[in-house]
């Protein structure tokens, strides 16, 4: 194996593979390389060991099902999916795509990304697989209950703190508004899930990407490709649709037209059921952005609070009216 390398660690790890490397360079938290097997990316792997084998099986399955532009994980000369550096840190080597990230400011490109997501879901049915049955099912209502416990803990902390920063005073003033919404939506969602006969999590046959965001969608000369399946999970397919849409809608003041257009684009490839719309509504209605701001504040050391925290909270409050109108118009037709 020859070529130019970023550092000694890269040399040692690439030596585990049957590839000829011509050039390497640093990417976002990874090492990219040109090789006789095409463009590759070496990334640190932080998930459980058995998850990478499930991820590998999923990627092979969706390609066989007719979804060509997705990554694949390369095996070592010893047929292993994971390699370890001198400090026992695990890495995986994957194929990569020459292109740019999806432009989340271009409506037509975002529409194509949503259509692509529906096609991915159509190719991600793993029902009947033995390895699929062993994968845990994600429960969104349990996740929200966990968030609510964390919010309650932070609210208690703020109430007992004698000297507050301007951000903490502002956060305390607006805390109960969002906390009450979080409790209400979680309760309504759990009641719906517990009483809706058409919802059976154990029968979720689709594997979600888990992190469907614009930086994991690559525009190439051959079309759009999807990368970074490390967070793939058995969950309701609206998980991916919600994540992609929420980020766009926050950047576009909860545009009702954009919401309708994206939902319609997805529906052209994969029909959204009444249950899908209801579960999407609950996910959008839960104040996840507020929880993120609070969680970041509480866990990042409270001696110094970044000014961005105040900006994000102010923007969140400024968009509440638009968000409420979006939920009422798009989901209560």
Which of 96, 121, 153 corresponds to the end of one domain? Answer: 96
What was the pLDDT predicted at 25?
Answer: 86
Of 291, 309, 297, 288, residue with least CA distance to 157: 297
DSSP result, 174-220: HHHHHHHHHHHHHHHHHHHHHH-TT--GGG--BEE-S---GGGEEEE
Question: What are the pLDDT digits (tens) for 69-128?
Answer: 999 999 999 999 999 988 888 999 999 999 999 998 899 999 999 999 999 999 988 766
Within-domain flag for 72: yes
Tell me the pLDDT band of 28, cut-offs 50, 70 and 90. confident
pLDDT band at 27 (very low <50, low <70, confident <90, very high): confident
Residues 219, 110: Cα–Cα separation, whole Å: 11
pLDDT score of 45 more than 70: yes
Is residue 161 in some structural domain? yes
Any alpha helices (H) in 29-123, and if so which ranges?
49-64, 107-122
Per DSSP, the three-state class of 86 is coil
| 290/223 same-domain check | yes
Boundaries of domain holding 293: 107-331
Examine residue 25 and state whether it is found in any structural domain, yes or no: yes
Quick count: other Cβ atoms within 10 Å of Cβ 250?
A: 16
Residue-level length of the chain: 333
Same domain, 130 and 88: no
Strand arrangement, sheet containing 100-101? 100-101, 217-220, 223-226
Please identify, among 69, 96, 123, the residue that sits at the C-terminal boundary of a domain: 96
Q: Which of 4-8, 12-16, 36-40 has the highest mean pLDDT?
A: 36-40
Residues 59 and 123 occupy one common structural domain: no
Residues 243 and 307 in one domain: yes
- Do both 190 and 91 map to the same domain? no
d(CA 249, CA 300): 27
10 Å CB burial of residue 123 (0-12, 13-18, 19+) is: middle
Does the residue 3 lie in any domain?
A: no
Write the CATH number for 13: 3.30.200.20
**Same domain flag for 89 and 149:** no
Domain co-membership, 158 together with 42:
no
Angle 156-151-243 from CA coordinates, rounded to 5°:
165
Cβ 2 vs Cβ 23: under 8 Å: no
For the entire predicted model, the pTM comes to 0.89
Instruction: Using DSSP bridges, classify how beta strands 100-101 and 233-234 pair: parallel, antiparallel or unpaired.
Output: unpaired
CATH number of the structural domain spanning residue 158: 3.90.1200.10
Residue 145 above 70 pLDDT? Answer: yes
* 301 Rama sector, left if φ>0, alpha if ψ -120 to 50, beta otherwise: left
Which pLDDT band holds residue 191 (cuts at 50, 70, 90)? very high
User: How large is the average pLDDT for residues 204-223?
Assistant: 90
Q: Is 140 exposed, middle or buried (0-12, 13-18, 19+ CB in 10 A)?
A: buried
pLDDT band at residue 333, thresholds of 50, 70 and 90? Answer: low
- What is the 3 state secondary structure string of 50-69? HHHHHHHHHHHHHHHCCCCC
Q: Are residues 68 and 112 in the same domain?
A: no
Asked if the model's pLDDT at residue 202 lies above 60, the reply is: no
What average pLDDT does the structure give for the chain?
Answer: 89
* Domain stop point among 96, 122, 138: 96
Tell me, what's the pLDDT at 3?
A: 42
What is the structure's pLDDT at 2?
40
Residue 201 has pLDDT above 80, yes or no: no
Alpha-carbon span 76 to 33, nearest angstrom? 16
Same domain, yes or no, for 66 and 141?
Answer: no
Per the structure, the count of domains in the chain is: 2
Task: Give the best-scoring range by mean pLDDT among 11-20, 135-144, 266-275.
Answer: 266-275
- Predicted pLDDT of residue 223: 92
| Residue 268 and residue 130 share a domain | yes
Question: What is the reported pLDDT for 49?
Answer: 85
Dump pLDDT digits (tens) for 269-321: 999 999 999 999 999 999 999 999 999 999 887 666 667 889 999 999 999 99
The answer to whether residue 6 scores a pLDDT higher than 50 is no
Residues 56 and 171 occupy one common structural domain: no
Chain segment 216-274, per-residue pLDDT in tens = 999 999 999 999 999 999 888 999 999 999 999 999 999 999 999 999 999 999 999 99
Please report how the helices 320-331 and 256-269 are oriented relative to each other, as an axis angle in degrees rounded to 10: 40
Q: Flag whether 226 is in a domain.
A: yes
**How much is the pLDDT for 300?**
81
Mean pLDDT of 323-331: 94
* Domain-embedded: residue 101: no
DSSP-derived secondary structure for 274-305: HHHHHHHHHHHHS-HHHHHHHHHHHHS-TTS-
Residue 2 resides in a domain: no
Examine residue 58 and state whether it is found in any structural domain, yes or no: yes
What is the torsion angle, in degrees rounded to the nearest 10, for the CA atoms of residue 149, residue 49, residue 72 and residue 20? Answer: 130
Domain co-membership, 213 together with 287? yes
């Amino acid at each position: 194996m020859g070529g130019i390398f970023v550092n000694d660690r890269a040399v040692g790890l690439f030596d585990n593979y049957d590839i000829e490397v011509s050039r390497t360079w640093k990417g976002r938290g990874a090492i990219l390389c040109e090789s006789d097997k095409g463009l590759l990316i070496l990334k640190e792997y932080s998930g459980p060991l058995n998850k990478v084998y499930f991820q590998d099986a999923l990627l092979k399955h969706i390609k066989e099902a007719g979804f060509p532009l997705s990554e694949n994980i390369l095996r070592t000369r010893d047929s292993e999916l994971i390699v370890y550096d001198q400090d026992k840190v695990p890495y995986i080597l994957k194929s990569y795509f020459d292109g740019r990230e999806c432009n989340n400011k271009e409506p037509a490109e975002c529409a194509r990304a949503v259509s692509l997501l529906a096609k991915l879901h159509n190719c991600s049915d793993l029902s009947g697989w033995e390895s699929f049955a062993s994968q845990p099912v994600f429960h969104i209502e349990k996740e929200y209950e966990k968030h609510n416990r964390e919010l309650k803990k932070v609210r208690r902390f703020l109430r007992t703190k004698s000297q507050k920063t301007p951000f903490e005073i502002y956060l305390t003033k607006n805390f109960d508004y969002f906390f009450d919404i979080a409790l209400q939506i979680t309760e309504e969602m759990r009641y719906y899930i517990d009483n809706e006969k058409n919802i059976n999590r154990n029968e979720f046959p689709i594997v979600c990407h888990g992190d469907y965001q614009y930086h994991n969608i690559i525009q190439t000369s051959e079309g759009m490709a999807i990368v970074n399946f490390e967070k793939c999970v058995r969950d309701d397919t609206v998980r991916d649709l919600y994540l992609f849409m929420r980020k766009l809608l926050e950047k576009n003041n909860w545009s009702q037209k954009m919401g309708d257009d994206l939902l319609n684009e997805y529906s052209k490839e994969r029909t959204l059921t009444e249950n899908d719309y209801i579960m999407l509504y609950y996910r959008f209605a839960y104040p996840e952005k507020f929880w993120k701001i609070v969680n970041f504040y509480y866990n990042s050391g409270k001696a110094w609070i970044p000014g961005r925290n105040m900006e994000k909270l102010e923007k969140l409050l400024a968009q509440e009216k638009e968000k409420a109108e979006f939920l009422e118009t798009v989901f209560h037709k």
